[in-house]
Amino acid sequence: MSEAVEYDVLVLGGGPAGENVVDRVRAAGLSAALVESELVGGECSYWACVPSKALLRPALARADARKVPGLADAVRGPLDAAAVLAHRDYWTSNWKDDGGRDWLASIGVDLYRGHGRLYGIRKIAVTSPEGEHTVLSARQAVVVATGTRALLPDLPGLAGARPWTSREATSAGQAPERLLIVGGSVVAVEMATAWQALGSRVTLLVRGARLLPRMEPFAGELVAEALREAGAVVRTGVDVEAVVRDGATGPVTVVLTGGETLEGDELLMATGRVPRTEDIGLDTVGLEPGGWIAVDESCRVSGTDWLYAVGDVNHRALLTHQGKYQARIAGAAIAARAAGAATGADEGRWGPYAATADTAAVPQVVFTDPEAAAVGLTAAEAERAGHRVRAVDYDLARVSGAGLYADGYAGRARMVVDLDREVLLGATFVGPGTAELVHAATVAVVGEVPIARLWHAVPAFPTMSEIWLRLLETYRDADGAS
């Protein structure tokens, strides 16, 4: 290999987290290079958030329209699957990253395409698709942002059955007639919603007792009810023991515990994620290949003064927006520490650069029909953490804004209140159109806004945001009755 090419900051992985790191350090005047083995923009842009929402939006819009008087009869027909898939392809730029590449060039970041591996302290070795080898060296920091990949369980016959993962589920060119989905979390329920709407007959096989196990129980219950109403089969408490594919293109059969078999045309395994760290040179810096990377609040790897890990790979919060948040924190910390080193300043002064929102105020939206949106702790999580709490529930259908949104509106909201401090620890909203409610809840949780102060945040009439007033009234009435 030739002499190392030197930059202030090196970033391994060009998804949203990696992009945000280079953006932040370049804004601070540091030089940067980014190493990416696939497409600039990463999983989110091409195989996850963006294509899945492009598939889901027509399904949700049709579901909403079917509940609006004067419009319902006009949308009784099927979705135009070809148009929906073309819309998805547009939003993934047909799986080309010219835009991402041009953006990096516009902010002065050099892109190295190929497989990157840590090569000892402050170095990355890159092997290009053509087999050329380049060593990059960092004056200040190296950031690992390689994300995760789908976890496929060790089931007999699974590898030979060529199952879908989230990548195939979001990029498929046509709807399978029969789609079996194993899993009950976000990928499983969102893809069940999308492909059922696009014409597949979906069967959802869930090992646990309910869908969306990390949210309030009513979220999974309402989503399961809606999937069944749409025609999907939802089975909980079942285990898959083996998988068989009939030939190269034939149907796939899953074998359940007890010997029952189910047949489909495609099988989606939505059974979790694992870090993409098995072959990135962690062993060259004393870390274990294949595992999650432990970091401090500034996303710096424990025991180092130069290595950072942002996004899914550090296992703090496996969500794109949280990875981007971490990247902004890490980029600011790197820039501040570089400035501190240059002036001889004490590094401790840069303590405010901390990713505190990864632990108690993580927002998430599940784009099913109905949508499920939540932030912070569930009631059960808050109690396990030792808080004295009250869970306040309200039927969203009783809010005027929801009733105007759709006939027969069904939904539910909950806020979790810390009784000792009278601030919100968490909130959950389930129902059509609730995704836009979660940021207000996030502000309340992050800002630790006192309940007494929330009374003065007046919701506009008639909107679904009136749910805040109803929740506060319910909390007040319960307090008066106790």
Q: What are phi and psi of 355, to 5 degrees?
A: -85, 70
Asked if 354 contacts 298 with a C-beta cutoff of 8 angstroms, the reply is: yes
Report the alpha-carbon distance of residue 191 to residue 339 in Å, rounded: 46
Domain that holds residue 264: 159-271
The sign one gets for the Cα dihedral 224, 230, 235, 240 is negative
Q: What is the pLDDT of residue 482?
A: 56
Cβ burial of 393 (10 Å; 0-12, 13-18, 19+) is middle
Q: What is the pTM of this model?
A: 0.94
**pLDDT tens digits, 321-340:** 999 999 999 999 999 999 88
Q: Are residues 201 and 333 in the same domain?
A: no
Six-digit token pair at 48?
């996850």
Instruction: Decide which of 271, 292, 314 is a domain's last residue.
Output: 271
Domain assignment present for 59: no
**Residue range 175-203: average pLDDT?**
98
Report the alpha-carbon distance of residue 101 to residue 14 in Å, rounded: 10
Domain assignment present for 62: no
Q: Are residues 283 and 304 in the same domain?
A: yes
Question: 141 Cβ partners below 8 Å, 6+ apart?
Answer: 8, 9, 10, 122, 306, 307, 308, 334, 337, 338
Six-digit token pair at 308?
């950072």
Q: What is the pLDDT of residue 345?
A: 43
Question: 327 Cβ partners below 8 Å, 6+ apart?
Answer: 16, 17, 18, 19, 20, 21, 24, 143, 145, 299, 310, 311
Asked if 178 contacts 264 with a C-beta cutoff of 8 angstroms, the reply is: yes
Model confidence band, residue 127 (pLDDT cutoffs 50, 70, 90):
very high
**Residue range 272-300: average pLDDT?**
96
Asked if 445 contacts 425 with a C-beta cutoff of 8 angstroms, the reply is: yes
Domain assignment present for 70: no
Q: Are residues 421 and 346 in the same domain?
A: no
CA separation, residue 336 to residues 29, 332, 349 (Å) = 11, 6, 9
Largest CA distance in the chain: 76
Q: What is the pLDDT of residue 370?
A: 96
Cβ burial of 325 (10 Å; 0-12, 13-18, 19+) is buried
**Count of structural domains within the chain:** 3
**Residue range 363-374: average pLDDT?**
97
Q: Are residues 28 and 107 in the same domain?
A: yes
Domain assignment present for 46: no
Domain assignment present for 154: no
Report the alpha-carbon distance of residue 354 to residue 333 in Å, rounded: 8
Q: Are residues 408 and 425 in the same domain?
A: yes
Q: At what angle do helices 217-230 and 186-197 cross, to 10 degrees?
A: 20
Q: Are residues 142 and 171 in the same domain?
A: no
pLDDT above 90 (res 351)? no
Six-digit token pair at 312?
């899914």
Report the alpha-carbon distance of residue 292 to residue 344 in Å, rounded: 33
Q: At what angle do helices 49-65 and 81-91 cross, to 10 degrees?
A: 140
Mean pLDDT (the chain, rounded)? 94
pLDDT above 50 (res 348)? no
**pLDDT tens digits, 414-430:** 999 999 999 999 999 99
Give the CA-trace dihedral at 167, 169, 171, 176, to 10 degrees: 150
**Residue range 473-480: average pLDDT?**
88
Q: Are residues 293 and 338 in the same domain?
A: yes
Q: Which helix (H) or strand (E) holds 454?
A: helix 451-454
Q: What is the DSSP string of 351-419?
A: TT---THHHH--EEEE-SSS-EEEEE--HHHHHHTT--EEEEEEEGGGSHHHHHH-TT---EEEEEEET
Report the alpha-carbon distance of residue 232 to residue 227 in Å, rounded: 5
Domain assignment present for 51: no
Share of the chain above pLDDT 70, in %: 96
Count of CB atoms situated within 10 Å of the CB of 247: 6
**Residue range 299-327: average pLDDT?**
95
Local structure of residue 306 (DSSP, 8 states):
S
Instruction: Identify the CATH number of the domain in which residue 315 sits.
Output: 3.50.50.60
Q: Are residues 21 and 137 in the same domain?
A: yes
Q: Are residues 383 and 454 in the same domain?
A: yes
**pLDDT tens digits, 213-258:** 999 999 999 999 999 999 999 999 999 999 999 887 889 999 999 9
Q: Are residues 180 and 251 in the same domain?
A: yes
Report the alpha-carbon distance of residue 314 to residue 410 in Å, rounded: 37
Q: Are residues 383 and 442 in the same domain?
A: yes
pLDDT above 80 (res 379)? yes
Instruction: Decide which of 316, 331, 357 is a domain's last residue.
Output: 357
Model confidence band, residue 480 (pLDDT cutoffs 50, 70, 90):
low
**Residue range 49-61: average pLDDT?**
97
Q: What are phi and psi of 400, to 5 degrees?
A: -60, -40
The closest of 375, 455, 446 to 416, measured between CA atoms, is 375
Helix residue ranges, H only, 6-111: 16-27, 42-47, 49-65, 81-91, 98-106
Q: Are residues 251 and 223 in the same domain?
A: yes
Question: 43 Cβ partners below 8 Å, 6+ apart?
Answer: 15, 147, 148
Model confidence band, residue 352 (pLDDT cutoffs 50, 70, 90):
low
**Residue range 164-172: average pLDDT?**
97
Domain assignment present for 55: no
Instruction: Identify the CATH number of the domain in which residue 456 sits.
Output: 3.30.390.30
CA separation, residue 177 to residues 168, 183, 201, 235 (Å) = 15, 19, 6, 19
Domain assignment present for 259: yes
Report the alpha-carbon distance of residue 406 to residue 417 in Å, rounded: 29
Asked if 170 contacts 87 with a C-beta cutoff of 8 angstroms, the reply is: no
**Residue range 23-37: average pLDDT?**
97
The closest of 310, 16, 11, 266 to 161, measured between CA atoms, is 266
Instruction: Decide which of 271, 291, 307 is a domain's last residue.
Output: 271
Report the alpha-carbon distance of residue 444 to residue 112 in Å, rounded: 42
Q: How far apart are the first and last CA of the chain?
A: 74
